Amino acid sequence: MSSLWLLMLLMLLVAVVFVLLATGKQRRYQRRQDENQRWYEQRLAELEEERSQFGLPEEDYQHAKQELDKTFLNDSQDVEEDIKWQRAPVTVPIVLLVVVSAVLYWAFGSWQLQLQAEDARKQLPELGKTLLQQQNQQADREDLNTFALGLRQKLMREPDDAVAWWIYAGIMVDLGAQEEANEAFQKALQLEPDRVNTLVSYSRFLLVSGAEEDQPKAARLLAHALQQDPGNIEALSLLGFVAFERQDWEQAVSAWQLLKERLPQSSERYQAVANALERAKEQQQKAQVQLQVTVELSDSMRHHLPTDGTLFVYVTGAEQPMPAAVVRQPLSEFPVTVTLSNQNAMLPDYKLSDLEQWLVHARISQDEKIDSQAGDLEAETVTIKANGSTDLTLTLSTRINE
């Protein structure tokens, strides 16, 4: 409301100045016209007197009157043009500009914003208590913005306050300002690189961002946090999550096992961690599944070996021709022994450990393609129960006909 009144006052001030300027110009114009009119009337009276008393010829009288009328008209136009184009005093626009600028700056400028920011800084303690009370529910966005504004003012005065930078980063996360949050976290760690809370919070922020390239950085931050505090529950939980996502089952099991030991069994979090630990152990066991295959070459096929052939050893499912694991290598001396595991999967969601039965194949291709073609050498496919055997021998004894 005060800003509206100030704006109306400003408009009134501008209107008054223009009215005064216009009034002054009109008065000057009227004064010059009155003087010109009096001179015209005086000169015309003199001509009348010369004609009546001194016998001025009529022809000379009319000619003099025409010249007088022409002079009066020209003088009147000169007066109008002089008044119209006359410059206002230089001090008038300068004073007007200063007044307008001062009022606008006071009403809408940075001075008012600075007052707002300073007021926010003074409210920091009370706002901090309010936000702390709202931590289990949705915080009021206006309170968050005001708190962030006050923190910025504090950090301008105290830029070396690592805890304030950490708090500010958290507020930026809540407000969805990802770039500002990232910069604030980095600033906090520059000031105190070993502060566990900052390391854990920044790691969580990087993981939530969803960028795959941020996972290694988050893992390094968590490892550093656990060096400072080996039993930190949040760090162990996040480290297990990072390891699980990166399929580092051993580290995931280790982190979640430590976390489980530190949680009371009565807590809701305990059961969630126990379930996650079981999943990690299951994946770890699957990752250890492997099949060792020895490939031999029959004497009758030795003279059919292609010069630049490629040996393929792979496993498919009973209903899926796509290899779940495959090893490819150039020809060498036989017999050849290879090991297949989940590490040899062609697809991330279709692995050796996902199958109940293994169909084991061996083929020598004339080129680098796994698809069979005339002239390739192959062994008889062997079907075994998954995990039922870890060692197998195949013999290349058949040549695919033309």
Q: pLDDT per residue over 256-291, tens digit each?
A: 999 999 999 998 899 999 999 999 998 888 888 889
Confidence of residue 70 (pLDDT cuts 50, 70, 90): low
Better pLDDT: 83 or 328: 328
Q: How far apart are CA 95 and CA 324, in angstroms?
A: 85
Let me know if 74 is exposed, middle or buried by CB neighbors in 10 A (0-12, 13-18, 19+). Answer: exposed
Let me know if 201 is exposed, middle or buried by CB neighbors in 10 A (0-12, 13-18, 19+). Answer: buried
Q: Which of 101, 33, 18, 29 is nearest to 73 (CA)?
A: 33
Confidence of residue 150 (pLDDT cuts 50, 70, 90): confident
pLDDT digits (tens, 9 = 90+) for 349-369: 888 888 888 999 999 998 888
**pTM, full prediction:** 0.58
> If DSSP codes are grouped into helix, strand and coil, which group holds residue 149?
helix
Better pLDDT: 5 or 58: 58
Q: How far apart are CA 340 and CA 358, in angstroms?
A: 11
pLDDT digits (tens, 9 = 90+) for 176-199: 889 999 999 999 999 999 999 999
